[in-house]
Structure 1
Amino acid sequence: MTEVQTHQGSCHCGAVAYEVDTDLQGLIECNCSHCYRKGLVLNFVAPDAFRLKAGEGALSTHTFNTHNIQHRFCETCGVQAFAEGKTPSGHPMIAVNIRTLTDIEPFDWKAERIDGRSF
């Protein structure tokens, strides 16, 4: 999976839908209290690679710790499909939860495990 492709994603109930252009490289699985409990596997992309297709009104936002990342989740089913924030260098980014991509095979990817618990 090294070429950039457009992938489709959604929350569980389908109220929130998006598409993202990514090569699915640089995936991370973090053990911080938030990511670990939710089972997130994240792919960071530039905002112009992400398009929310449906559900802006169905989204709620959760922030914690430094409040630098807005974790966006569906109010109906509770699934966090993506987050919005900035990279450590200050660039805007979208963190896509690849477990919400509907057009890839489960576990047909590799993620680096990150020790976010120690940050």
Structure 2
Amino acid sequence: MSHKHQVQCHCGNITLSFNKYPESLTSCNCSICHRYAALWGYYQPDEVVVSSKTTSSKTYQWGDGYIDFHHCRQCGCVTHYTSTSLSPIQKVAINFRMDNPSQLANIPQRRFDGARSWTYLSE
């Protein structure tokens, strides 16, 4: 199955392929997302194909163990996160900071308060 769109880490080792852009992107202020400065787009696991040229991604897990954050072993870019088996909801979140900003110009960005209230903030 061929996917219409792709994003890559800085060195091109990790590629994430998908068929459609998300309806919105999320900027979260939790302790890890704030540091990563990620802009997340959410998908079902079967909607994303992750591939690597030379080395697979390395993962980092924090807190409740629901999420594995993936980054490229070569250039260090945070590429995506995946739900672990502990999570009640299975998803893949692509870090759209890897995409060209012009591709994202018409996608609304939502702010999520992961640091305090665990709710979306008013637009």
Task: Specify the TM-score bucket, using the shorter chain as the normaliser.
Answer: 0.7 to 0.9
Question: What are structure 1's unaligned runs of at least 5 residues?
Answer: none
SS in 2 for 1:95: strand
Runs of 4+ in 1 over 6 A off after TM superposition: none
1:105 partner letter = S
Q: Quote the offset at 1:37 in angstroms.
A: 1.2
Say if 2:102 is the partner of 1:105.
Answer: yes
Change (3 A) 1:37 1:82: same
CA contact (8 A) 1:99 1:106 kept: no
1:80 partner letter = V
Question: Sequence identity, in percent?
Answer: 24
CA-based RMSD = 2.2
> Which position in structure 2 is the counterpart of 1:27?
25
Query: TM-score w.r.t. structure 1 length?
Result: 0.82
Q: What is the aligned counterpart of 1:47 among 37, 40, 45?
A: 45
2:41 partner letter = N
Query: TM-score w.r.t. structure 2 length?
Result: 0.79
Question: What are structure 2's unaligned runs of at least 5 residues?
Answer: 119-123
Q: What is the aligned counterpart of 2:56 among 43, 55, 58?
A: 58
Say if 2:93 is the partner of 1:95.
Answer: yes
> Which position in structure 2 is the counterpart of 1:6?
4
Number of aligned residue pairs: give it.
112
Greater CA deviation, 68-77 or 105-114? 105-114
Q: What is the aligned counterpart of 1:79 among 74, 77, 80?
A: 77
